[in-house]
Amino acid sequence: MNLSGLSSDRHRNIKFRRITSYDHVESHHTASITTVEIAKAALCYPVLFLQRQGVFHPVVLLGLAANENLYLEGSSWRGVYVPASIRAYPFRLAGEHVLIDESAPHFSNSEGETLFTDTGDPTQALCDALGFLRACNDAENDTQKWCKYLDERDLLVERCLEVISPQGARYRVNGYYVVDQAAISCLPDIEIATLEREGVLSLIHAHLHSLEHLTELAAQRDAIT
């Protein structure tokens, strides 16, 4: 990956092709998601929480070992839903700065749409990409509020998840957090009612039900070993 700050001077003549490529996550075993994605993501991935520098983030599990992505088959993606963090590539938002991976197959010197006009203004192709990045950033901000709520009430617990594949292989998934169902049941009734009204409980239930997909990952692992 060759990340570079997007510049109308440096990238005036580069061409962008709206192609689908997942090569950049070939060795990723997790992908970040936001609260607006949890319901869809939970239909095909285990949804867990990672803690980075004291801050929790929801992620989908893509493999049972480091550098393993069991959802990528050649150039195709097995999941019916592709996380926005993957679809945003080859663009990335870093604070107020937009970065691009200059080595991405999306960019070319001869084919595709330009990112800037002759006067240095963003083209429609770039505006579309920037709009998607901003929507992802807004969703991430909302997600952090949700994760802070869970953390402040000690609703997230670290858990070693063990799964046995159809062929009897045993896998352990360590270092992740899940919502503690017992802690949820201890919340006051008025708070439970508020969570249900605001849709938070449905997200928690989706997360917990998604853990059943661990068995599917184990079966997929059986198929390649």
pLDDT for res 195: 86
Q: pLDDT at residue 135 above 70?
A: yes
Report, as an integer, the average pLDDT of 116-124. 94
Mean pLDDT of 137-162: 94
pLDDT band at 225 (very low <50, low <70, confident <90, very high): low
Whether the pLDDT of residue 184 is over 80: the answer is yes
Average pLDDT for residues 189-196, to the nearest whole number?
Answer: 90
What's the burial of 70, exposed, middle or buried (CB within 10 Å: 0-12/13-18/19+)?
buried
Per the confidence metrics, is the pTM higher than 0.85? yes
Residue range 154-174: mean pLDDT, rounded = 92
Is pLDDT at 4 greater than 80 in this prediction? yes
- CA–CA gap between residue 110 and residue 17 (Å, rounded): 10
* Higher per-residue confidence, 225 vs 116: 116
**Phi-psi bin for 154: left (phi > 0), alpha (psi -120 to 50), beta?**
left
DSSP state for residue 10 in the 8-state scheme: T
Report, as an integer, the average pLDDT of 164-176.
91
Task: Indicate the domain borders of the chain.
Answer: 3-224
Instruction: Kindly indicate the confidence band of residue 20, based on its pLDDT and cuts at 50, 70 and 90.
Output: confident
Q: In this structure, are residues 101 and 1 in contact, taking their beta carbons and an 8 Å threshold?
A: yes
* pLDDT range class, residue 201, cuts 50, 70, 90: very high
Residue 117 has pLDDT above 90, yes or no: yes
- Summarize pLDDT for 36-68 with one digit per residue, the tens: 999 999 999 999 999 999 999 999 999 998 899
Q: How confident is the model at residue 213 (pLDDT cuts 50, 70, 90)?
A: very high
Question: How would residue 11 be classed by pLDDT, with cut points 50, 70 and 90?
Answer: very high
Contact 155, 183 (CB under 8 A): yes
Contact of 133 with 127, CB cutoff 8 Å: no
* pLDDT of 70 higher than 70: yes
Res 217: pLDDT:
93
pLDDT at 199 exceeding the cut of 90? no
Output the pLDDT for position 63. 94
Question: What is the rounded CA–CA span in Å between residue 62 and residue 30?
Answer: 5
CA 64/CA 163 separation, integer angstroms: 10
